[in-house]
Amino acid sequence: MTPTHRSLAAAGLTLAVLGTLTACSAASTTTAHGTLGPSATSSPAHWAYDGTDDPAHWASVSDDYRTCAAGKAQSPIDLPALGHDAPLDLDVEKGEVTETTADNGHTVQLTAGSGETTVIDGTAYHLQQMHFHAPSEHTVEGKRYPVELHFVHADAKGHLAVVAVFAEAGAHDAAFDPYIAGAADGETSARGHVVDVAAMLPTNRAYWAYDGSLTTPPCTEGVHWVVLATPIELGQDQIDALTAVHHDNDRPTQPLDGRTVRSSTE
């Protein structure tokens, strides 16, 4: 299938964003989903997805990462069966925008240019960046998808809305070709291209929504997550191109710790 845009709503967020968001890396002032990370004047501690600096040891790598173990609202989580909460309402006002793509060592980040606005529950958010994890970080009743894409948005006040989209093997999706081409380049410097953000999202409005955290150090909490329940399809060659660059870059699911997960079918 070729996914198109429309509808999704999210609750208000309270996490401030300072500066330009960068993808899953603690190497800059802002991290995966826009939370303030280690100072730009200090050298952030190295973390990884395997070895002695893997997710089980993130909290011991640096004092800056203590929330990775001490936090009570961590992401990702295992998602339950869909419920019957209020429907979501999302509208991508302008889909085609100029982006840059670069490999940051943990994932391939698409950094948004100007022009794209997503209205969520009446609030205008601007796409900051998108990146992928393989396999998916969130699970659905224990099921894991081959790929999970994170579209990171921020409103004018710095409130964050992260839209997660699962991907499974199926029909080739041309909307992802520019991003995947950038990933396959293996470049750490930015590669410019144009993508249609609207066409990268599924049409179905089924969702889960909950309050969580960054899925990478420093694991800062206060991130609102909206996970779309209907996966998009990518060609197996497209999935292979992504996983050839990064694979097993997923954090294990975290305890729910009494949080509420809202959800609904379309």
Give residue 112's domain range: 51-264
Compute the average pLDDT of residues 59-86.
Answer: 97
**pLDDT for the residue 137:** 98
Residue 62 domain-assigned (yes or no): yes
Residue 36 domain-assigned (yes or no): no
Full DSSP string of 63-129: GGGTHHHH-SS-S--EE-S--B-PPP-EEES--EEEEEEEE-SSSEEEEE-S--EEEETTEEEEEEE
Residue 130 domain-assigned (yes or no): yes
Compute the average pLDDT of residues 48-62.
Answer: 96
Total domains in the chain come to 1
Residue 178 domain-assigned (yes or no): yes
Residue 38 domain-assigned (yes or no): no
Residue 143 domain-assigned (yes or no): yes
- How far apart CA 103 and CA 86 sit, in angstroms, is 38
Confidence band (pLDDT; 50, 70, 90) for 146? very high
Contact 165, 149 (CB under 8 A): yes
Residue 83 domain-assigned (yes or no): yes
The pTM for the full model equals 0.84
What does residue 242 show for φ and ψ, rounded to 5 degrees? -70, -50
In the structure encoding, which two tokens stand for residue 48, read together? 């990884």
Residue 225's domain is classified under what CATH number? 3.10.200.10
Residue 241 domain-assigned (yes or no): yes
Catalytic residues: 106
201-232: pLDDT as tens digits:
999 989 999 999 989 999 988 888 999 999 99
**pLDDT for the residue 73:** 96
In the structure encoding, which two tokens stand for residue 194, read together? 């144009």
